[in-house]
Structure 1
């Protein structure tokens, strides 16, 4: 299911057919460093991640992480979407692109489309951004989206992150 399309990007639900791409993305050193090590080491782990993460979230909350692909050739570039953080009672916008797509405005384009979808199609009233204090690229992107630092919060696993709203 396509949730948004921009001049350069298509943003759609992840499916089990995306397992190989997810395996690749979640093992990028930048993903592990800036987001987390999800322990996805093979295609079965990637399938489990998809089924118990994004796909379960679609069913439970009506939204989740989505695949970002190039509109011209359907090349997968990364993920961007909405994640319900039950411990914070907040919906968070998350994004991660493969390094070869950094610095070209793709993450901003995808995040703006996902925010618009969240506010206008899902009727969410608040979407926050969470990031590590050391992740300046994400902080800059959240600022471009109009989000401002609100407070520091504790995610599950005792990880302190900055919350932008």
Structure 2
């Protein structure tokens, strides 16, 4: 099914405690910190972002390009009433996967408080109701049982191990079907 662009009616997306909005180049310092967090590097991978300029390029070539091409991407996650980015959550199209992929990452101080579940639940609703996606997948490292539990909590189920061409180790593939 073809994605529809996000409209003002769909983003920023607000939950009880969070706002999800598009990333822009002003979020470079936040992204630099997030992409170099030890857990991000260990569970998601090294994106080679080492400077603010690298972070700006990453945002422009990643999420901003995805918004233009697919209508979705990774969105900044902020507590309601603040300008503080605490994480990212959203949907991606990856060459190694046939379907839209839900993903998330949060800074260490904001983990373990239910924010990832709240943000992912909102993104799943947006994916189904706004974009009309009939299948959503997610991938996790074998050594990341917390992410596996969260994915199951939002309705995805483990399907199989995969070996994407750009990953050295096997990953778990989870899926949700309408």
Same fold? TM cut 0.5:
yes
Deviation at 1:79, TM superposition (A): 0.2
Question: Any idea what SS the aligned residue of 1:36 has?
Answer: coil
Q: Which residue of 1 aligns with 2:163?
A: 154
Residue 113 of structure 2 corresponds to residue 104 of structure 1: yes
TM-score norm. by structure 1 comes to: 0.96
The ranges of structure 1 where at least 4 consecutive aligned residues each deviate by more than 3 angstroms after the TM superposition are none
TM-score norm. by structure 2 comes to: 0.89
CA RMSD of aligned residues (A): 1.1
Alpha-carbon distance in structure 2 between the residues aligned to 1:143 and 1:3: 25
Most deviating of 52-61 and 148-157: 148-157
Question: Contact 1:3/1:117 (CA < 8 Å) preserved in 2?
Answer: no
* Counterparts in 2 of 1:32 and 1:114: CA distance versus 1, 3 Å: same
Deviation at 1:106, TM superposition (A): 0.3
Q: Which residue of 2 aligns with 1:88?
A: 97
Q: Which residue of 2 aligns with 1:120?
A: 129
For residue 10 of structure 1, the aligned residue among 10, 19, 41 is 19
Deviation at 1:113, TM superposition (A): 0.2
Residue 45 of structure 2 corresponds to residue 66 of structure 1: no
Runs (5+) with no aligned partner, structure 1: none
* Counterparts in 2 of 1:158 and 1:37: CA distance versus 1, 3 Å: closer
Select the structure that is richer in strand. Answer: 1
Question: Any idea what SS the aligned residue of 2:93 has?
Answer: strand
Question: Any idea what SS the aligned residue of 1:85 has?
Answer: coil
**Partner deviation per Cα, 1:104-142 (whole Å, 9 max, x = no partner):** 100000000001001100111111111011101101100
Q: Which residue of 1 aligns with 2:139?
A: 130
Runs (5+) with no aligned partner, structure 2: 1-7
Most deviating of 96-105 and 155-164: 155-164
Q: Which residue of 2 aligns with 1:20?
A: 29
Question: Any idea what SS the aligned residue of 1:96 has?
Answer: strand
Deviation at 1:154, TM superposition (A): 2.1
Question: Any idea what SS the aligned residue of 2:68 has?
Answer: helix
The count of aligned residue pairs is 165
